[in-house]
Structure 1
């Protein structure tokens, strides 16, 4: 298994343009073909023409990556079963390490001990992020409803 790559790939302006153009083609392709079979990609470069066969899920993931790159955002890929250090997990959440430790100790995110060190599985972190996003949306919806009820909107 390759090492965990936490450093995102930062697109330059040329990458942003190429990603945006490729994204349109890939989305069109995925919209036209709803089957879940393998996708045949053709690479045509100075070394010749070659066909690559990849799972549809990989192409869907590629579309997500390209969407971020087209927006000028850095991208990294982390396997869901990866064990993250508390510093890596905190960076993914954009919080301080002490704040993350509080979340772990409060039971908000599952973790395990490896000797004296905490390890957070990426899928546990993603579950927390989804739950937190739902809570935030519910709070925003409640505030919107209150604002409308009070006639301030």
Structure 2
């Protein structure tokens, strides 16, 4: 059996997306995992986890997006981690130094390494925090009547909401 390459591997979508669209549409209509059929006719059941990943890959490529496959224990450079998060390397370094994302320095090395799993965990925590804040802001806007305010009264209602939020923060 050949050795498995554990390095990240990026695949760009095909130039003709028609076949990817067909595959994605087919997979969207499947309710349970299918099977793979080899060139010799041998059939192997596709585990649910592999089926789910295949659906996600086909959907992303149908949208013209490339896919990178990497093990979660993959060590990233600070630049790779920053690129993954869509932030600058100096911003990432600030997050590392603030303890928001764990990192390691190889023995005798001065370069930081970040595990992909830790970067993904940080990204998920940020998403959750953003969703929570947006939900709170939406609730506050509804309570302040901003959704019901007319265009003429909106600026005044917004100013009132800001004042009450600022007063609440100072009292807390």
Instruction: Check whether TM > 0.5.
Output: yes
Please list the CA deviations of residues 85-144 of structure 1 after superposition, one character each: whole Å capped at 9, or x if unmatched. 111100100000000001111111111111211111111111101100000101111111
- Whose relative contact order is higher, 1 or 2, with alpha carbons under 8 Å and at least 6 apart? 1
Structure 2: gaps spanning 5 or more residues? 148-172
Whether the 8 Å contact between 2:8 and 2:71 is mirrored in structure 1 is no
Which of the two has greater strand per residue? 1
Matches within 5 A, 1:63-142: 63-114=55-106, 115-142=109-136
Structure 1: gaps spanning 5 or more residues? none
Give the TM-score of the pair, scaled to structure 1: 0.81
| Larger Cα-atom Rg | 2
Once structures 1 and 2 are overlaid, which stretch shifts more, 99-108 or 65-74?
65-74
Give 1:3 shift.
5.1
Give 1:56 shift.
2.5
2:50 maps to which of 58, 77, 82: 58
Q: Residues 41 and 12 (structure 1 numbering): CA distance in 2 closer, same or farther, change over 3 Å?
A: closer
Distance across 2 between alignment mates of 1:4 and 1:136: 32
2:141 maps to which of 119, 142, 147: 147
Please list the CA deviations of residues 60-90 of structure 1 after superposition, one character each: whole Å capped at 9, or x if unmatched. 1111111111122221112101001111100
Whether the 8 Å contact between 2:76 and 2:114 is mirrored in structure 1 is yes
Please list the CA deviations of residues 13-50 of structure 1 after superposition, one character each: whole Å capped at 9, or x if unmatched. 513x3222212222333x1x37xxxx52125xxx6645
Task: Please provide the CA RMSD for this pair.
Answer: 2.1
